[in-house]
C-alpha cells in the first residue's frame, strides 16, 4: 500500500467522511433497485467501491469505518436498522473487510483481488447469518451460485476501483499515484 495519512489527520477524517457519503449513496441506490436474482445476499456491491478506495487511499482502519458506517447509514435510510437484514449486512461488511484488509497487506494482490475476495467473504458471511436467523441450513444451498456471482461482481467492482484509482489523481492531484 502507498504511504497513507495518519488516521487522526484532518485529511484522513475528511476522506473517510467523503467515502462514507459515497458508499451510503451507492448503498441506498442499490437497495432501492430490485435485486436481479431471488437469492439472499447477492448484490453487485457498488458500495464496496468506496471501501476499496478507503483501503487503498487512507488505510485499513479507515476502510472498516467506511464499511460499518455505510451499513448503519443505509439501514437508517431504509428502515432496516436492528433487523435480520441489518445483521446480514453488518456481518457481510465486517467479513469482507477482514479479508480485504489482510490481502491489502500482501504486495502481490491488487484492488481487483481485494474486491473479489471481499465479495466472496461478503456472500459467505451473509449466507451463514441467514442460516442462523432461519435456523435451517437451507440458505447454504445457494452457496455455489452465490460464490460464482460474487466472483463476477467482485471483478466488476475491482476493475471499476482500479479505473477510479488511476483517474482520481488527474482530477485531484493530492490523491497521488499508486
Q: Which is nearer to another protein, 15 or 27 (CB)?
A: 27
The rounded Cα 113 to chain-centroid distance in angstroms is 13
Q: Which is nearer to another protein, 3 or 107 (CB)?
A: 107
Q: Which of 81, 120, 77 is nearest to 102 (CA)?
A: 120
Q: Which is nearer to another protein, 15 or 129 (CB)?
A: 129
Instruction: Output the CA angle 43-47-48, nearest 5 degrees.
Output: 85
Instruction: Output the CA angle 129-60-74, nearest 5 degrees.
Output: 50
Question: CB 147 → another protein: shortest distance, Å?
Answer: 4
Question: CB 7 → another protein: shortest distance, Å?
Answer: 26
Question: CB 57 → another protein: shortest distance, Å?
Answer: 19
**Residues 6 or more apart from 156 whose CB is under 8 A from it?**
44
Question: CB 105 → another protein: shortest distance, Å?
Answer: 11
Q: Which three cell numbers stand for residue 165?
A: 484509482
Q: Which is nearer to another protein, 137 or 169 (CB)?
A: 137
Question: CB 129 → another protein: shortest distance, Å?
Answer: 8
Site residues (vs another protein, CB under 8 A): 34-35, 38-41, 78, 80, 83-85, 88, 103, 106-110, 112-113, 116-117, 120, 130, 133-145, 147-148, 150-151, 154-155, 158
What 81-90 contacts at long range (C-beta under 8 Å, 24+ apart), as own/partner pairs, is: 84/133, 87/129, 87/133, 88/40, 88/41, 88/126, 88/129, 88/130, 88/133, 89/126
Q: Which is nearer to another protein, 17 or 141 (CB)?
A: 141
Amino acid at each position: 500500500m502507498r504511504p497513507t495519512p495518519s488516521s487522526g489527520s484532518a485529511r484522513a477524517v475528511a476522506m473517510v467522511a467523503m467515502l462514507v457519503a459515497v458508499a451510503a449513496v451507492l448503498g441506498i441506490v442499490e437497495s432501492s433497485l430490485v435485486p436481479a436474482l431471488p437469492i439472499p445476499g447477492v448484490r453487485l456491491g457498488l458500495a464496496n467501491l468506496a471501501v476499496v478506495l478507503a483501503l487503498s487511499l487512507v488505510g485499513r482502519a479507515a476502510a472498516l469505518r467506511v464499511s460499518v458506517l455505510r451499513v448503519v447509514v443505509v439501514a437508517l435510510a431504509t428502515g432496516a436498522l436492528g433487523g435480520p437484514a441489518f445483521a446480514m449486512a453488518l456481518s457481510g461488511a465486517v467479513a469482507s473487510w477482514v479479508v480485504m484488509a489482510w490481502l491489502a497487506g500482501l504486495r502481490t494482490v491488487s484492488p481487483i483481488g481485494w474486491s473479489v475476495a471481499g465479495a466472496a467473504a461478503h456472500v459467505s458471511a451473509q449466507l451463514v447469518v441467514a442460516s442462523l436467523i432461519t435456523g435451517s441450513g437451507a440458505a447454504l444451498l445457494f452457496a455455489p451460485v452465490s460464490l460464482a456471482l460474487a466472483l463476477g461482481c467482485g471483478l466488476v467492482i475491482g476493475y471499476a476501483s482500479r479505473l477510479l484509482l488511476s483517474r482520481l489523481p488527474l482530477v485531484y492531484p493530492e490523491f497521488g499515484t499508486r
